[in-house]
Amino acid sequence: MTPRRRAASLLRGGGDPAPPPGPLGRAARAEAASLPRADRLLLGLRWAALGAALLLAPLGSGQAPGLPALFAAAGALNAIVSVAALARRPFATGRASALLVADAIQATSLTLLTGGAHSPFFPLFLLLAVELAVAFAGRTAAAWILSAGALHVAAVVLREGGDWVTLDAYMAVGKLFVLLIVGALAVAFTTQVRLEDRHRALAERNAAQMVLLNELFFELNQPRDDLGHALRALLAGAQRLLAADVGLVFLCEPVLGCWRMTASLGRAEATPAALTPASWGWQIATDETFLAGPAAGTDLPAGWPDPATRVVAGIRLEAQGGGEPGALVIGRAGGPLDDGEWLALRALARETELSLRNARLHAEEQAQLARLRQFEDARQSFFSAVAHELRTPLTVLKTLMPSVADWARLPAAERARATEMVEANLGRLETLISDLLDGARVEAGAVALRREPTDAEDRVRRLAQSLQPLFETRRQEVAIAAEAGLPPVDADRRRLDQVLSSLLHNAFKFGRQGGQIGVRVARDGADVRICVEDDGPGVPAADREHVFDKFYSAAPAGGAQGGLGLGLYISRELVALHGGRLWHEPRPGGGSRFCLTLPAAKEGCDGPGDD
């Protein structure tokens, strides 16, 4: 047998059948220990008792006629008993009730028939005393041995009647004394044997638990991405270690709520989500353990999935990362957990906590790796975008520079066109450098705001008017809608224009050619909300959580270069510095909508402003 199978067999209790009910069966099952060699030893003692009776026969009173026939009948009866004892192992399995009754009847009847105090069959009472010491334990065995002594005295009294002599009385008392001495020695010996067997069984069970725990810990320490697999392995370990029929792991997750059944075993796999430790009255924050069920003197917890469960035991899982604690719960059809089993359950709980911690660290590591990969991709996109943004204006300027000396001889229209191209490309370089500097300042927290009451609608209309030539290149219209009576916002006007310009440029780049760009200004509680929307293809669902990431850039309509990916990042940080919020949401019917909120100014508006 392999160590693992040997361990499992020991933890199941060796596989012996349970003793059935009977006249003495309940007491025997409760107190008798499993002594595998007891039946063979008592079988030998049985024939030794008959042999001793045969040797004592010549010393008897000779008042029993037909003594050889009685010995022959006793021998035949004990031969039948011996064959049955070898087959059924009554003492090892706790099924000795019928045998004890038969031996008591045999010893009493033969004593009555063969001389009472002078009967040679007294060794059969000694055999009965030893059998009682083996079948029962402690005080119960002593009580039954006293009963056997009383039975012997009664047999002697009935046999002698009124014809007592002093020798008969001395013999009866002496035999009773010998019976009690032999019984006491047998009880002491069997008690010691039971104690040694119990210690040996406990040591074997502890060794078996260590084997299974080591196998379980080795399996759990293997690198895995699936937390559910680890928890199911733990519940399988509880099934083997603690004979659990039902196993549950509950975790408290702020998003999904407390409690969430994270793993289950047995009938609990079909358990409704309403089954939670809180519904059982378990104050898990203060009580480390939980015990319920008929074997514990209480009802099963409400909603428990297996009505055959006799005991439900739970132990708290300590919180991970400052969160709420969890719970490891098992149920089984056996009795309450002993001290060793509670230790095993605690070991499983500690391993569960370690698995949860490892899973959390692994998830954080994977998330960090994903962020690093994303950052690397963004970095490469950033450098590609910077190179593209620098190359285009520099190429134009490099092309124009050789002809600067001849500009004076050019026609006025061509000279104006060349000057315009130079200014446009220099402006493009200035914008690029400004974005890079603003990104660095925002990241370093070095942006200072000059906040003052500002009319948000006026800033939107001014900026849209200044960008009108840009919108006309793609035949786009800008529709502005504002609620009446809006309060001024508390904002840095230059930074607000920068944010609005970034959003309008995005709408221009990603909106449909010949389409419409919408701007809405409205009250939002104590704030003012500004939304800019376009009718383009919108942001793909997989990219929505990254639109405000640094260096993230999507390809605009027409497949042109997407830019540095700093505009929305800078805009979000600037809005956050104002105490507001910038977010993206899909536009009904297609397109994107970017909204921001700014706190309303506490003072009255001093006018639209000239800057």
Tell me the per-residue pLDDT of 22-47, one tens digit each, with 9 for 90 and over: 333 333 343 344 445 777 888 888 88
From CA 533, how far away is CA 518, in angstroms rounded? 5
Q: Do the domain assignments include residue 95?
A: yes
Same domain, 324 and 277: yes
Residue 563 confidence class, pLDDT cut points 50, 70, 90: low
Over range 285-313, report the average pLDDT: 87
Residue 460 pLDDT > 70, yes or no? yes
pTM above 0.85, yes or no: no
Three-state SS at 533: strand
Element at 358 (helix H, strand E): helix 339-400
Q: Which two tokens stand for residue 509?
A: 């780049």
pLDDT at 258: 59
* Under 8 Å between Cβ of 57 and 67: yes
Q: Distance (Å, rounded) from C-alpha 499 to C-alpha 456?
A: 12
Same structural domain, 242 and 320: yes
Q: What per-residue confidence (pLDDT) applies to 269?
A: 53
Query: What interhelical angle do 166-220 and 3-11 show, nearest 10?
Result: 130
Q: Please give the average per-residue pLDDT across 134-145, as a whole number.
A: 88
Q: Rounded to the nearest 10 degrees, how much is the dihedral formed by the CA atoms of 385, 389, 394, 397?
A: 160
Question: In terms of domains, do 515 and 555 share one?
Answer: yes
- How many domains are contained in the chain? 4
Strand, helix or coil for residue 93: helix
What is the domain-level CATH number for residue 383?
Answer: 1.10.287
**The pLDDT of residue 609:** 47
- Rounded-to-integer distance, Cα 573 and Cα 581, Å: 9
Q: Is the peptide bond before 259 cis (omega within 30 degrees of 0)?
A: yes
In a domain, residue 327? The reply is: yes
Q: What does the pLDDT read at residue 396?
A: 67
Residue 396 and residue 500 in one domain: no
Where is pLDDT greater, at 469 or 18? 469
Residues 277 and 419 in one domain: no
Hunting for tokens 């004892």 — which residue is that? 85
For range 118-143, the mean pLDDT: 87
- Mark 411-424 as b/e (b = at least 16 C-beta within 10 Å): eeeeeeeeeeeeee
The yes-or-no verdict on residue 361 having pLDDT over 70 is yes
184 or 2, higher pLDDT: 184
Residue 324 sits in the same domain as residue 468: no
Same domain, 438 and 508: no
Report if residue 607 sits inside a domain. Answer: no
Res. 523 pLDDT band, cuts 50 70 90 = very high
Give a yes or no: residue 412 inside a domain: yes
**What CATH number does the domain containing 265 carry?**
3.30.450.40
Answer for the pair 516, 452: CB distance below 8 angstroms, yes or no. no
Same domain membership, residue 157 and residue 9 = yes
Which domain, by its residues, includes 73? Answer: 3-204
Q: What is the pLDDT of residue 185?
A: 92
Query: Which of these three, 294, 329, 360, is where a domain ends?
Result: 360
Please state, in angstroms and rounded to a whole number, the distance separating the CA atoms of residues 152 and 154: 5
The predicted pLDDT at position 528 comes to 94
Give the model's confidence band at 542: pLDDT under 50 very low, under 70 low, under 90 confident, else very high: confident
Burial (CB < 10 A; 0-12, 13-18, 19+), residue 236, is middle
Q: What is the pLDDT of residue 25?
A: 39
Which pLDDT score is estimated for 110?
85
Decide if 611 is inside a domain.
Answer: no
Residue 132 CA to residue 609 CA, distance in Å, equals 109
Question: CATH number of the domain that 539 lies in?
Answer: 3.30.565.10
For residues 481 and 249, the model is more confident at: 481
pLDDT at 87 over 90: no
65: pLDDT strictly greater than 50 = yes
Above pLDDT 70, what percent of the chain? Answer: 76
pLDDT of 350 > 70? The answer is yes
Residue by residue, what is the 3-state secondary structure of 473-491? Answer: CCCCEEEEEECCCCCCEEE
Domain boundary among 360, 392, 411: 360
For the stretch 226-246, pLDDT in tens is 667 777 777 887 777 788 888
As a whole number of angstroms, the distance between CA 510 and CA 29 comes to 83
Tell me the torsion sign for CA atoms 271, 320, 213, 310.
negative
pLDDT tens for each residue of 147-158: 988 888 888 888
For the stretch 374-428, pLDDT in tens is 777 767 766 766 676 666 667 767 776 777 767 777 777 877 777 777 776 676 6
- 393 and 424, same structural domain? yes
- How confident is the model over 543-562, as a mean pLDDT? 64
When pLDDT is averaged across residues 270-285 and rounded to a whole number, the result is 71
CB 268 within 8 A of CB 281: no
Mean pLDDT calculated for residue range 561-584 = 81
Q: Tell me, what amino acid is at 97?
A: S
For residues 521-547, average pLDDT: 88
CA distance linking residue 353 with residue 355, whole number of Å: 5
Per-range mean pLDDT, top range of 55-59, 208-212, 438-442, 518-522:
518-522
User: Of 452, 520, 523, 530, which Cα lies nearest the Cα of 485?
Assistant: 523
| 225 within a domain of the structure (yes/no) | no
Q: Does residue 459 share a domain with residue 385?
A: no
Mean pLDDT on 167-184? 85
Predicted confidence at residue 520, as pLDDT, reads 95
C-alpha distances in angstroms, 37 versus 12, 15, 138?
20, 16, 20
pLDDT at 287 over 50: yes
What is the rounded distance in angstroms from the CA atom of residue 306 to the CA atom of residue 264? 13
Mean predicted lDDT score pLDDT of the chain: 77
Tell me what pLDDT residue 33 has: 40
Q: Give the Cα separation of 567 and 548 in Å (integer).
A: 9
Structural domain includes residue 470: yes
pLDDT score at 8: 43
> Is the same domain home to 344 and 407?
no
What's the rounded Cα separation, in Å, for the pair 128 and 179? 9
The torsion region of residue 115 among left (phi > 0), alpha (psi -120 to 50) and beta comes to left
pLDDT number for residue 7 = 41
Spell out the residues 6+ positions from residue 50 whose beta carbon is closer than 8 angstroms to its own.
71, 74, 75, 78, 123, 124
Least confident residue range of 171-180, 216-225, 331-340, 539-548: 216-225
d(CA 313, CA 296): 10
Among the candidates 443, 465, 494, a domain finishes at 443
- What pLDDT does 317 receive? 84
Q: How many CB atoms lie within 10 A of CB 541?
A: 8
**393 and 355 in a common domain:** no
Asked whether residue 320 is assigned to any structural domain, the reply reads yes
